[in-house]
Structure 1
Amino acid sequence: MKFKIDKFILSIIGVILIAYFFPNWATEDSKAPLNTISSIGISLIFFFYGLKLNPTELKSGLKNWKLHILVQGATFLMFPLLVLFFRPIIQNEEQETIWLAFFFLAALPSTVSSSVVMVSIAKGSIPSAIFNASISGIIGILITPLWMGLFINNPQTDFNFTNIYIKLILQIIFPVVLGLLLQRFLGKFAHKHSSKLTLFDKSIILLIIYKSFAESFINGVFNAVSILDLLAIFIGVITLFLIAFSLTGFLSKKLNFNNEDKITAQFCGTKKSLVHGTVFSKILFKGMSSIGIMLLPLMLFHATQILIISIVASKLAKEKNIN
């Protein structure tokens, strides 16, 4: 069985290297208006997201309420509780930062595109996957800041819920609603050019990742992170994913889900959105010098989830074709 390395993951690695060697492009003295470009780009990402949401498919997905509760419960309760379990063992400020980065990962919504694609490959319930992945992003706009507000206590960060939700409304909710309102007129156009819009989404994400890591490199944040720390983060990411994947599978059996719903629960309930993560980090951690570390577990998780779920989806698809 051959697996190609995801080009987007390679792009992320490339962008981090560029940030390391050329961090000055992200400084305030730079002529490149990265803040303006990324802010406009974020709004456009979610405008296009609204255009691509199909109200009919979302309505049809509402029926399977047990599956929806499991997926959203796994995304917004199980993940944070798993990470919370390890908070008592924190011994210093460096560990606190790494733990907070994991908690940020755990509090994020599920990703839309890869969830639906992988469910489709594995022959799961596509309407339920579309509903859960889409509604997860909307729920996350409300829930993720609430979770993070419990633990962020940084004088560099103005964690004011009013200001944060105003930013989220202007940059995310308003563009999504506008996209939904225009869906009947521009929906076909959005789906026709879906690949180009995805390329645009990824370009903005790469820009935000570059800026986040460049600022962290300039401030010397990663000087305190050793190879052993990076290895521990990677092991932690894999462990978190495997525990979540096993628990959603176990609960699916207990709820007597058919195979299609079990696949959907495991694939949608264990994903975390890099799009929302990079966007939220720009708003939630504005002013924090350690923003690069905040994104590190998420990016490793993104690579891990794509690799493992791709293997599982391919295996399930082969088994179904044989049967």
Structure 2
Amino acid sequence: MPGFLAKLDRFTIGLIVSVGAGILVPCSGVWDTVFSRLSDAAIVLLFFLYGAKLSRRSVWEGLMHWRLQGLVAASTFVIFPLLGIFSMPLWNSVLGPDLCMGMLYVCMLPSTVQSSIAFTSMAGGNVAAAICSASVSSLLGVFLTPLLVGLVWSRGGEGGVDFSTFLNICYIILVPFVAGQFAQRWIGKWVVTHRNLTSWTDHSTIWLVIYTAFSHAMINGVWKNLPWLSLVEVLAFCGLLLAAALWLTAFLSRRLRFSREDRIAIIFCGSKKSLATGIPMMNVIFAGAPIGLLVIPIMVFHQLQLMVCSFLARKWAKDVGKGEQL
């Protein structure tokens, strides 16, 4: 076991510990309130730091490449949701309503930021466009993710997402981000030079929310009726979803005659989903509801996309200068 852990990165180890702690030592009573408040505070700090470090110049330059941005946004907020909606009957019959809801939620999320940029850079893609695509996707997700969730759940007979949810998201996510943008002139350079601060804040926020979610699931008895086969089925469906997204972004970017560098950015930004944004936002959208099972698909999809995209980035990096097609 120690040898296995040694091969894992800090973030993955933290996820395992958070899940284990939530199952073995769940918080209840006053501690449940304490950890919920801590989660909200950590989310506010996280998006404030995002705002403080995000370069306005990079966003503006990337926005000028409107065809690329449009395709990434369409993949993230149109193609992915459609894949989820068409797959919903199958997911519901195999996984049940809670895990099906979690799979659908994955489809509604914005793209990742850090890993999309890192993989694009590693593979020799258009880094400036990736920075803008991933950043704009995160901003659009603040509005589009709850809107898409509300539309799908209202059609499915659920309560949907009301206006108070948008206000909560604005208070906890958008307002801190805008405040960070305003504070950028004073603390922007300091935040950029202290990348470990944002990295630890990013990771610890997710660990904290994961621990709280799994604690709620244990206290409410969610795990008693979850068979191991369901986890295997979630992994299989996440793999199929990721494969479909990778193929579609590669196919469309090639048919629209983008350059190799642009295609790399489109594939990585348009096929990935953000755990860092998704779990904090889930805490707000599904406030008051047990979300223990809802986090499983996004956790599985996150790890799967990192492994697959890491392999692709290394492969495409070797192809640079050989003139080989993606």
Question: TM-score, normalization: structure 2?
Answer: 0.91
- Partners of 2:88 and 2:104 within 8 A in 1: no
Change (3 A) 1:31 1:243: closer
The reply to whether residue 254 of structure 1 matches residue 221 of structure 2 is no
Change (3 A) 1:90 1:123: closer
**Secondary structure of 1:199's match?**
helix
Cross-structure match for 1:20: 23
- Partners of 2:95 and 2:234 within 8 A in 1: no
Offset at residue 188 of structure 1 (A)? 0.5
Offset at residue 93 of structure 1 (A)? 10
Post-superposition Cα deviations, 1:6-60, rounded to whole Å, max 9, x if no partner, equal: 331222112101111101xx22332872122111111110000001111111111
Cross-structure match for 2:125: 124
Post-superposition Cα deviations, 1:99-123, rounded to whole Å, max 9, x if no partner, equal: 1110101100011111111111111
Instruction: Work out the number of aligned pairs and report it.
Output: 315
Offset at residue 296 of structure 1 (A)? 0.4
Offset at residue 88 of structure 1 (A)? 3.0
CA distance in 2, matches of 1:235, 1:10: 23
Change (3 A) 1:90 1:241: closer
Change (3 A) 1:88 1:255: same
Cross-structure match for 1:64: 65
Alignment of 1:282-293 (within 5 A): 282-289=283-290, 291-293=291-293
Alignment of 1:220-235 (within 5 A): 220-235=221-236
Unaligned stretches of 5+ in structure 2? Answer: 1-5
Offset at residue 89 of structure 1 (A)? 3.7
Change (3 A) 1:12 1:246: same
Q: What code does the residue aligned with 2:147 have?
A: L
Q: What code does the residue aligned with 2:196 have?
A: S
CA distance in 2, matches of 1:86, 1:31: 35
CA distance in 1, matches of 2:80, 2:32: 41
**Secondary structure of 2:30's match?**
coil
Alignment root-mean-square deviation, CA: 2.0
Q: What code does the residue aligned with 1:294 have?
A: L
Cross-structure match for 1:302: 302
CA distance in 2, matches of 1:90, 1:126: 35
Alignment of 1:156-235 (within 5 A): 160-235=161-236
Offset at residue 162 of structure 1 (A)? 1.9
CA distance in 2, matches of 1:309, 1:176: 28
The reply to whether residue 6 of structure 1 matches residue 9 of structure 2 is yes
- Partners of 2:149 and 2:160 within 8 A in 1: no
Change (3 A) 1:31 1:275: closer
Offset at residue 77 of structure 1 (A)? 0.9
Q: Which runs of 4 or more aligned residues in structure 1 lie more than 4 Å from their structure 2 counterparts after TM superposition? A: 90-94, 157-160
- Partners of 2:95 and 2:233 within 8 A in 1: no
Offset at residue 160 of structure 1 (A)? 5.0
CA distance in 2, matches of 1:313, 1:94: 32
Change (3 A) 1:17 1:247: same
Post-superposition Cα deviations, 1:222-280, rounded to whole Å, max 9, x if no partner, equal: 22221211111010011100110011000011000111001000000011111111111
**Secondary structure of 1:182's match?**
helix
